[in-house]
């Protein structure tokens, strides 16, 4: 996985958990246009298999997804058995979603409707660079998953 100075990525995969099909397509296109290999998924899919096959460098996760499904996905991502733990960016709208994202171990939070979605690929590139430099350590969940 490598990133270049303009925020575009090469060979970096992004896994997008978004239950709104239009949003999922938009995020996938946004990351694909920025040079990432982007794939959308739902918690009902085999998340462990997705992690081992895709080996995502980063995961975008819609925190509006039902809490039990959210805990399930975060549990698999935080355990990272058979793949490196990806950077997790939580997509939030409401305050309780932000709190849940922090409890579950999200590395960063993006507030929908306030932050510009076009900046997401650059944010992911920045987070991946921080992880590579050792400045961003994987978060430990504050709640059992």
Domain extent for 113: 2-132
Q: Is 92 left (phi over 0), alpha (psi -120 to 50) or beta?
A: beta
Q: Who's near 115: CB < 8 A, 6+ residues apart?
A: none
The answer to whether 58 and 86 have CB atoms below 8 angstroms apart is yes
CA-only gyration radius of the chain, Å: 14
Does some domain include residue 14? yes
pLDDT of residue 143: 76
Q: How far apart are CA 142 and CA 8, in angstroms?
A: 32
CATH number for 80 = 3.40.50.2300
Helices 47-54 and 67-79 sit at what angle, rounded to 10 degrees?
A: 40
Q: How far apart are CA 51 and CA 113, in angstroms?
A: 29
Q: How far apart are CA 118 and CA 100, in angstroms?
A: 24
Does some domain include residue 144? no
Q: State how many domains the chain has.
A: 1
Q: Which helix (H) or strand (E) holds 31?
A: helix 21-33
Does some domain include residue 140? no
Q: How far apart are CA 145 and CA 133, in angstroms?
A: 28
From first to last of its 145 residues, the chain has per-residue pLDDT tens of 334 334 445 579 999 999 999 999 999 999 999 999 999 999 999 999 999 999 999 999 999 999 999 999 999 999 999 999 999 999 999 999 999 999 999 999 999 887 788 999 999 999 999 999 999 998 889 876 6
Does some domain include residue 8? yes
What is the pTM for the complete model shown? 0.89
Does some domain include residue 123? yes
Does some domain include residue 143? no
């Amino acid at each position: 996985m490598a990133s270049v100075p303009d925020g575009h990525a090469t060979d970096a995969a992004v896994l997008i958990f978004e239950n709104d099909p239009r949003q999922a397509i938009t995020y996938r296109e946004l990351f694909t246009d920025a040079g990432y290999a982007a794939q959308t998924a739902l918690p009902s899919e085999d998340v462990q298999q997705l992690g081992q096959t895709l080996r995502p460098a980063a995961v975008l996760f819609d925190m509006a997804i039902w809490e039990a499904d959210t805990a399930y996905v975060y549990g698999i991502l935080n355990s990272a058995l058979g793949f490196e733990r990806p950077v997790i960016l939580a997509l939030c709208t409401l305050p309780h979603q932000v709190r849940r994202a922090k409890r579950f171990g999200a590395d960063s939070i993006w507030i929908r409707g306030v932050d510009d979605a076009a900046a997401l690929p650059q944010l992911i590139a920045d987070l991946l660079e921080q992880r590579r430099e050792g400045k961003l350590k994987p978060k430990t969940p504050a709640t059992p998953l």
